[in-house]
Amino acid sequence: MGRSPCCDENGLKKGPWTPEEDQKLVDYIQKHGHGSWRALPKLADLNRCGKSCRLRWTNYLRPDIKRGKFSQDEEQTILHLHSIIGNKWSTIATHLPGRTDNEIKNFWNTHLKKKLIQMGFDPMTHQPRTDFFDSLPQLIALANLRDLMEHRPLDEHAMRLQEEAVQLAKLQYLQYLLQSAASIPSTNSYGQNGITDMEVLNLLSSIPLIEENLVLNSSELENQGSNHFANANSQLLHHPSVLSQLSDPQVPFSYQPSLNTEMGQAPFLTTMPSQEGNNPSDSSWVLPSPTPVLATVTDTSISNPGDASSTTSSYGGGTSSYWPEHFFEDPIMHEIS
């Protein structure tokens, strides 16, 4: 197993390619094919190493490369595959015709990863981040202590910001709790996960926006049990005022990780094509449920109205998610599962 010779051989050019170099490379490959990349530079009269030529061709000059912005479908595919296989860019690239692994990797690093972070998700695990919530009490305590020491009362704006941060953290934590509960196969009992209905209800009722903005009767929820609580929470998550906090209004899709217990894999992650207008302030704007508990898959509110195949049947019985059927027909999905 030899180490590949490095490109830093004396005299070989590095850095950006000139149009002339590109033309030489394209001309040569179109006439002769690339053959041995190591031999190619001399044959094509290029003062580059073979590796550099190969990269230039595969990432930039190949005629079948699709350039331009990634479509929503492509974004969805990347997020979906990344949630399952991680940073396997070349594998992901095989599912996006015309896109190179390098392009996908760059797109992930510069766009998608940041979006997930902004929305409170860990880009590697695709789970809601809990570190912020964990440290919140300490942060608030520190802030209060500082104000106390300086004999300076919190001004109104600062207090409001602080309160909003607490509510947002609660929402994120709530979502996390529900996902944890839903990860237990064949049961909706939170208790088995160390999380009680009351615990979640208490959390829910402590969030003012629920009281102010949502039709949510907590006593009714208690009477009707977890499933109804879950539906109520689904309303919560679908509410635009929640969405405006949980997702970036500039992002033309909504995001959630979901658990596919049937496949026994890491949580799925997807974007869901949003409804017409992509307007978070519109009441039709929905955040799809992260878990089977939060909403029923057959609920049309979480499917793409224009794409019936984006839903499958129920979580509880047969198929396990709302992924388009073609994902499961895909050889790589079989391979993964």
For the CA atoms of 248, 254, 257, 258, the dihedral, rounded to the nearest 10 degrees, stands at 150
Among 10, 11, 16, 215, binds DNA (CB under 7 A): 16
**Least distance in Å: CB of 91 to DNA?**
6
- Residue 4 — φ and ψ, nearest 5°? -70, 140
DSSP state of 160: H
By C-beta, is 72 or 180 nearer to DNA?
A: 72
Q: Which residue lies nearer to DNA by CB, 89 or 268? A: 89
Burial label, 9 (beta-carbon count in 10 A; 0-12, 13-18, 19+): exposed
Query: Could you tell me which stretch among 7-15, 257-265, 276-284, 306-314 binds DNA (CB under 7 A)?
Result: 7-15
CB of 12 to DNA, least distance (A): 9
As a residue count, the chain comes to 337
Smallest gap from Cβ 57 to DNA, in A, equals 9
Report the alpha-carbon distance of residue 112 to residue 124 in Å, rounded. 11
What are the angstrom distances between the C-alpha of 110 and each of 101, 204, 230? 14, 35, 35
Q: Fill in the per-residue mask, 82 to 121: x = in contact with DNA (CB under 7 A), - = not in contact.
A: -----xxxxx---------xxx-xxx-xxx--x-------
Min dist. Cβ of residue 63 to DNA (A): 15
In which residue are the tokens 């802030």 written?
143
Question: 82 or 239, CB closer to DNA?
Answer: 82
**Residue 265 in contact with DNA, rule: CB under 7 A:** no
Which residue blocks in 183-311 are alpha helix, DSSP H?
Answer: 197-205, 208-213, 218-224, 226-238, 240-246
**5 lies in the site for DNA, by CB under 7 A:** yes
Q: How far apart are the first and last CA of the chain?
A: 32
For position 77 contacting DNA by CB under 7 A, the verdict is no
Minimum gap (Å) between residue 96 Cβ and DNA: 13
Backbone region of residue 245 per phi and psi (left: phi > 0; alpha: psi in -120 to 50; beta: other values) = alpha
Residue 283 and residue 290 in contact, taking contact as beta carbons nearer than 8 Å: no
* Nearer of residues 30 and 36 to DNA, judged by Cβ: 36
Instruction: Give the residue with the Cβ less far from DNA, 99 or 239.
Output: 99
Is 19 near DNA (CB under 7 A)?
no
Residues within window 29-68 making contact with DNA, judged by CB under 7 A: 35-39, 48, 50-52, 54-56, 58-60
Q: From the CB of 114, what's the least distance to DNA, in Å?
A: 7
Q: How far is the CB of 247 from DNA (least distance, A)?
A: 17
CB of 37 closer than 8 Å to CB of 54? yes
Tell me if 72 contacts DNA by CB under 7 A: no
Closest CA to 246 of 285, 277, 190, 276: 285
Q: Which residues bind DNA (CB under 7 A)?
A: 1-8, 13-17, 35-39, 48, 50-52, 54-56, 58-60, 87-91, 101-103, 105-107, 109-111, 114
